[in-house]
């Protein structure tokens, strides 16, 4: 099991996990609270995701043949019962509106978040399809353009299903991709509030220095975003749409996305913020910067997938002109808060200064700096050009309509 139980490292390699792997005795004790599932018989596979411990588990009871469920264990400092229930309420809303998301299983007592000692557990049904990208990590590309287009359409359907979910933004928690610092005009004050709300970040001098540097690097993109902010309607969003957080119809190049999973980073942001995260996760191969931070132009970007992804999205939910023009600066800005949230996790939970530095220096500052490189400008200019072409098309359509007798 040691080979299987490796976790994704920050440089893309497989490393020893930060959290102990789930074991069968532990799973039997938890699943005993879910009477309809029966007894856990064996662990089918172990997730390589680094921030929790998770596994697909086979169970059997007297009336049903073997079934499989997904069990995830969090440290309570990362997700307590209240934090998981925030996510579960969102999933229930999405499911009720027809979005293809996994159903959260409730215990015999009606609980979907089970706290035991220092741990919090959740159990999900396995969605339809196959886990095609199970071993892929964020910042690696789609396997085909068709996958990119299907992912875009799936995200748009998710946004439509989320429209009437009016829960407030999440409380300050580690590992949440929020949107607060660049959602206002005074980013310095917003950054100060963000850091002050997280004790592990509040007194960290090096992190504060890097945060100030990131604000300076990102200031032009914030200025570009500001005129469009008021047009971005608040929306609960996924904020981590990588190909590995989706299930797929088959293993072929034309496979369709059948479900979206893993809502751990979800929060109340806006649709453009979510699309920007999807671009940042799938279109830019950031891992090149880990091994050689000075070679920014060696970071690959997949513009062919970018256009197909956005075409797929807009085939379901067309972007307004304001949203289209907001997308380029949002791509540059969106990963900043999650980099800080990761630093909060590494400092406050794992007590790892080394990993935290990679987040606040490598991710926060390094990525912010990259968007002014030749490659970064190429990505953002592609998005700006797309927004301009759409404006011209709208004008032409309006003129054509006005010319009709």
For the stretch 65-80, pLDDT in tens is 789 999 999 999 999 9
3 state SS of 324: helix
Across 321-332, b (16+ Cβ under 10 Å) vs e yields ebbbbbbbbbbb
Q: In angstroms, rounded to a whole number, what is the distance separating the alpha carbons of residues 145 and 149?
A: 6
Assign domain 145-395 to a CATH class: alpha beta
Tokens 């970040």 belong to residue? 201
Ranges of each domain in the chain: 7-125, 145-395
The pLDDT of 252-280, averaged and rounded, is: 98
Q: What is the pLDDT of residues 131-142, one digit of tens each?
A: 999 989 888 999
- Supply the pLDDT for residue 311: 98
- Supply the pLDDT for residue 1: 37
- Supply the pLDDT for residue 9: 67
Specify the DSSP class assigned to residue 3: T
pLDDT-derived band at 182 (thresholds 50, 70, 90) equals very high
The answer to whether 203 and 346 are in contact (CB under 8 A) is no
Sign of CA dihedral 226, 230, 232, 237: positive
What phi, psi does 142 have (nearest 5°)? -60, 155
The pLDDT of 128-133, averaged and rounded, is: 96
The answer to whether 254 and 269 are in contact (CB under 8 A) is no
Does this model's pTM top 0.85? My answer is yes
Of all residues in the chain, what percent carry a pLDDT higher than 70? Answer: 97
The pLDDT of 382-389, averaged and rounded, is: 96
- Supply the pLDDT for residue 3: 40
| 4 has pLDDT over 70 | no
Q: What is the pLDDT of residues 198-224, one digit of tens each?
A: 999 999 999 999 999 999 999 999 999
In angstroms, the Cα distances linking 235 to 87, 168, 178, 204 are: 14, 10, 11, 32
| 96 has pLDDT over 90 | yes
**Secondary-structure breakdown of the chain: helix, strand, coil percentages, each rounded to the nearest 5:** 50, 15, 35
Please state whether 239 falls in left (phi above 0), alpha (psi between -120 and 50) or beta. left
The pLDDT of 31-47, averaged and rounded, is: 92
Mean pLDDT of the chain: 94
The pLDDT of 188-203, averaged and rounded, is: 97
Query: Residue 240: is it exposed, middle or buried by C-beta count within 10 angstroms (0-12/13-18/19+)?
Result: buried
- Residue 281 corresponds to which tokens in the numbers above? 């996760």
Strand pairing of 7-8 and 119-125? unpaired
Q: In angstroms, rounded to a whole number, what is the distance separating the alpha carbons of residues 140 and 138?
A: 6
What phi, psi does 275 have (nearest 5°)? -60, -40
Q: In angstroms, rounded to a whole number, what is the distance separating the alpha carbons of residues 368 and 90?
A: 31
Helix (H) or strand (E) holding 275: helix 271-282
Q: Which one, of 50, 137, 6, lies nearest residue 346 by Cα?
A: 50
- Rg of the chain over Cα atoms, rounded to whole angstroms, equals 21
- Residue 392 corresponds to which tokens in the numbers above? 């011209």
Q: In angstroms, rounded to a whole number, what is the distance separating the alpha carbons of residues 350 and 32?
A: 30
Specify the DSSP class assigned to residue 114: E
The pLDDT of 167-188, averaged and rounded, is: 96
Q: In angstroms, rounded to a whole number, what is the distance separating the alpha carbons of residues 214 and 364?
A: 7
Contacts (Cβ under 8 Å, ≥6 apart) of 321: 387, 390, 391, 394
**CATH classification code of 7-125:** 3.30.200.20
- Residue 236 corresponds to which tokens in the numbers above? 């609960």
Q: In angstroms, rounded to a whole number, what is the distance separating the alpha carbons of residues 208 and 195?
A: 8
- Supply the pLDDT for residue 2: 36
- Supply the pLDDT for residue 35: 85
The answer to whether 338 and 265 are in contact (CB under 8 A) is yes
Q: In angstroms, rounded to a whole number, what is the distance separating the alpha carbons of residues 78 and 76?
A: 5
Of all residues in the chain, what percent carry a pLDDT higher than 90? Answer: 84
Q: What is the pLDDT of residues 285-344, one digit of tens each?
A: 998 888 778 888 889 999 999 999 999 999 999 999 999 999 999 999 999 999 999 999
pLDDT-derived band at 64 (thresholds 50, 70, 90) equals low
Q: In angstroms, rounded to a whole number, what is the distance separating the alpha carbons of residues 171 and 26?
A: 30
């Amino acid at each position: 099991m040691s080979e299987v139980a490796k976790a994704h490292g920050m440089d893309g390699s497989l490393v020893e996990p930060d959290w102990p792997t789930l074991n069968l005795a532990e799973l039997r004790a938890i699943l005993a609270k879910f009477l309809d599932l029966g007894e856990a018989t064996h662990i089918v596979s172990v997730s390589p995701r680094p921030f929790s411990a998770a596994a697909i588990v086979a169970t059997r009871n007297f009336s049903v043949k073997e079934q499989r469920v997904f069990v995830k264990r969090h440290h309570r400092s990362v997700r307590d019962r209240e934090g998981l229930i925030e996510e579960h309420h969102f999933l229930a809303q999405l499911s009720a509106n027809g979005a293809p998301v996994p159903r959260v299983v409730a215990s015999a007592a009606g609980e979907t978040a089970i706290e035991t000692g220092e741990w919090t557990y959740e159990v999900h049904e396995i969605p339809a399809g196959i886990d095609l990208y199970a071993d892929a990590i964020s910042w690696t590309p789609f396997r085909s353009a068709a996958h990119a287009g299907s992912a875009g359409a799936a995200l748009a359907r998710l946004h439509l299903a989320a429209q009437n979910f009016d829960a407030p933004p999440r409380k300050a928690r580690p590992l949440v991709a929020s949107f607060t610092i660049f959602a206002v005009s005074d980013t310095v004050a917003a950054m100060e509030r963000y850091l002050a709300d997280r004790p592990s970040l509040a007194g960290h001098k090096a992190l504060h220095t890097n945060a100030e540097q990131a604000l300076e690097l990102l200031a032009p993109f914030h200025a570009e975003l500001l005129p469009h902010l008021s047009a971005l309607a608040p929306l609960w969003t996924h904020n981590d749409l990588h190909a590995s957080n989706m299930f797929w119809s088959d293993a072929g190049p034309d496979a369709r996305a059948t479900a979206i999973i893993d809502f751990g980073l979800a929060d109340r942001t806006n649709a453009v913020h979510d699309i920007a995260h999807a671009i940042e996760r799938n279109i830019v191969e950031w891992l090149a910067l880990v091994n050689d931070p000075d070679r920014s132009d060696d970071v690959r970007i997949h513009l062919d997938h970018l256009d197909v992804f956005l075409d797929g999205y807009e085939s379901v939910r067309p972007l307004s002109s304001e949203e289209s023009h907001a997308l380029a600066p949002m791509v540059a800005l969106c990963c900043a808060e999650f980099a800080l949230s990761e630093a909060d996790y590494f400092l406050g939970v794992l007590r790892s200064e080394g990993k935290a530095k990679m987040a606040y220096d490598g991710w926060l500052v390094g990525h912010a700096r990259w968007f002014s490189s030749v490659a970064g400008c190429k990505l953002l200019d592609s998005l700006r050009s797309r927004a301009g072409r759409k404006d011209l098309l709208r004008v032409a359509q309006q003129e054509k309509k006005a010319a009709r007798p």
